[in-house]
Amino acid sequence: MLLTIFQTLYKRKEKIEDIVLTIQQSSSKEIDDFILKYEPFITKTISTICGKYITRQDDEYSIGLSAFHEAIELYSYKKGASFLSFAKLIIKREIIDYFRKESKYQNITLDRQESSDEHEQYDHHVYNTYIKNFDEINRKEEIIHFNEMLNQFGISLENLVKVSPKHEDTREQIFSVVDIITSDEEMLAILYKKKKLPMKLLEDKVSLSRKTLENHRKFIIAMCIITVNEYKYLQTYIKREG
């Protein structure tokens, strides 16, 4: 069945994103076959974050495999034009969460002799540094994916800095608009498929003028992207920057 799906889609020159959306409605066997086809991609992504070659015998492999399966289930047009970019984000996020929770990564061997208190303090510091490095990797992946999403709307990160609302009350009003859009599937469809704000629908639900909405169009779109994709780091960072 999956072979038929691949053959049909490839004949029509469909992309992997179309294949993913198709197999979401297929059986678990067909999804498993799709995962098997992209096993090299999964292994490479896991190995990159771990800094070593990962095999099927490693715990990280199972985590990455599960994350790729999750990416298939979660993927939609709202998650970006590239499925593999989205999948990489999910895999790296899950691997880093695994590192954070797995107690064996806290047990760092020390070469020097220290008292118990000094040892624990040093160990805690090294572990925090270790996790901070992974946080930086995760944040970088979010920025890469976020930038790809912005490019689809003709927006750059540089543009975003320039159009960010300067006043707190304006920011609050803008975030209210974002909440309205991201909780309405019809508005999201217009935003992502037509690459523009759903002005007619918004004007009936917000007190802001069309001119104000237009002036903050890029910022509203960017905040919608962050909200829909549930970026852990960017969501906190951007809202704190106001």
Picking from 224, 219, 199, 223, the residue whose alpha carbon sits closest to that of residue 209 is 199
Cβ contacts of 184 within 8 Å, gap of 6 or more = 201
Q: What is the pLDDT of residue 6?
A: 44
Entry pTM: 0.66
* Per-residue pLDDT tens over the stretch 197-226: 999 999 888 888 889 889 899 999 999 999
∠ Cα 27 83 160 (to 5°): 145
> The tokens of 21 are what?
């959306």
Residues 223/175, Cβ–Cβ less than 8 Å: yes
Residue ranges of the domains in the chain? 38-152, 157-240
For the cut 70, the answer to whether the pLDDT of residue 242 exceeds it is no
Q: Residues 43-54: what's their mean pLDDT?
A: 87
Identify the band that residue 131 occupies on the pLDDT scale cut at 50, 70 and 90.
low
pLDDT score at 209: 87
Is residue 241 scored above 70 in pLDDT? Answer: no
* Residue 65 binned pLDDT confidence (cut-offs 50, 70, 90): very high
